[in-house]
Amino acid sequence: MTRPDLAINGGPKIREKLLPYARQWLEEDDLAAVLEVLRSDWLTTGPQVPAFERALAEFVGVPEAVAVSSGTAALHTAMDAAGVGPGTEVIVPVMTFVASANAAVFQGATPVFSDVDPDTLLLDLSQLEQKITPRTRAIVAVDYAGQPCDYDQLQAVARKHGLTLIADGCHALGAEFQGKRVGSLADLTVFSFHPAKHITTGEGGMIATADAQAAARMRNFRNHGISTDLAQRAKLGTWHYDMAELGYNYRLTDFQCALGACQLRKLPAWVARRREIARAYDDAFRSSEKIRPLISRPGVVHAYHLYVIRLNLDKIGATREEVFQALRAEGIGVNVHYQPVHLHSFYRRRFGTGPGMFPVAEANFARMLTLPIFPGMTYRDVREVITALQKVVG
């Protein structure tokens, strides 16, 4: 890209300070909530943890939610609750963050990868049943970019074959499918509270479920496999505890939970703002021959954790890397989500995967970019993203 008007070639920038693709939004009430807990007697395993769990469970419409230390910990905990272990298989779409597959590997299971729909990059349901074998234990449905999967079809397949349906809803807190919120649509639904997500606890995660027995197992799993925590033992006036199963230290602190609960109250307004930004992008790119956004399906409320476009590189006359670098030179912090899991070197070595196995995901990966989208963006920020992209692609 040799045009002199581009910032990468010395031309004027659209903006001086880089606009990131995602950013947390913390207000004074968030800081006050954390400080109040820091001044209290309980920094972990205290009352803020079950309070945050109840608030999220009520928000998504299920009786149980289990807080853990990260979205990855939530995926691992859900895999254990689903009975995933050595000799079992878990179906996972390749267009996702590696943690969706890693959690199965943590349990000694084999991830069975599947390609995605070319318009939404969600799990291609036309291929799903042919992936199922007698060893299959669970299906991971990834709500890519914040758009819910077709849970009616997924539940029908899972029930037919006696499988656990795990929703990786880490992109989709606040999203809806057929009038029901993500979190109430699968057997186990995993959320992340990383700063890039819809609400944050710094690091943190949650598993939502209607299964009380699974919730009890997950609470033990996050606490070394021990059936009581310190607060419970203090209430009972006993020191005794027993590690009945192997578990992990995946606990989330009270001050993180206080932050999460405060942020959760703002979530509907923040999702609405994300959707407003997405509509502005849709309107700007609708008639473009060089920029193709993902399709939003009828019957869903898209939560827009990410806004992903595909570039028509032949018409642009540049590579994806050249467009990426040119946009960042203009002050627009575009990103790429994601390199398909089967192309990572670990999976190539361990499971013999490689290029050519999942052509839809690979073709989209080669030309995708993620544009900035987060509630704190101003109208000027949005206009500058649109202007910079139109400037760079010509």
* One pLDDT digit (tens) per residue for the chain, 394 residues: 889 999 999 999 999 999 999 999 999 999 999 999 999 999 999 999 999 999 999 999 999 999 999 999 999 999 999 999 999 999 999 999 999 999 999 999 999 999 999 999 999 999 999 999 999 999 999 999 999 999 999 999 999 999 999 999 999 999 999 999 999 999 999 999 999 999 999 999 999 999 999 999 999 999 999 987 777 777 778 878 889 999 999 999 999 999 999 999 999 999 999 999 999 999 999 999 999 999 999 999 999 999 999 999 999 999 999 999 999 999 999 999 999 999 999 999 999 999 999 999 999 999 999 999 999 999 999 999 999 999 999 8
Crossing angle of the two packed helices 267-285 and 379-393, in degrees rounded to 10: 30
Where do you find CATH 3.90.1150.10 in the chain? 7-21+267-393
Angstrom distance (rounded) from CA 320 to CA 33? 43
Where do you find CATH 3.40.640.10 in the chain? 28-264
- Strand extents, DSSP E, 48-161: 64-68, 89-93, 110-114, 136-142
pTM over 0.75: yes
Residue type, 49: V
3-state secondary structure of 165: strand
3-state secondary structure of 155: helix
Residues shown for the chain: 394
Is residue 315 among the annotated active site residues?
no
Q: What is the pLDDT of residue 238?
A: 81
The pLDDT tens digits for 311-362 are 999 999 999 999 999 999 999 999 999 999 999 999 999 999 999 999 999 9
Catalytic residue among 180, 197, 266, 391, which? 197
Angstrom distance (rounded) from CA 25 to CA 36? 19
Pick the CATH number of 28-264 from 3.40.640.10, 3.30.1330.200, 3.30.365.10, 3.20.20.140: 3.40.640.10
Nearest partner of 168 among 85, 268, 92, judged by Cα: 92
The pLDDT tens digits for 296-309 are 999 999 999 999 99
Q: What is the pLDDT of residue 318?
A: 97
What CATH fold (topology level) applies to the domain 7-21+267-393? Aspartate Aminotransferase, domain 1 (3.90.1150)
Nearest partner of 122 among 155, 186, 89, 168, judged by Cα: 168
First-to-last CA distance in the chain? 10
Contact 176, 301 (CB under 8 A): yes
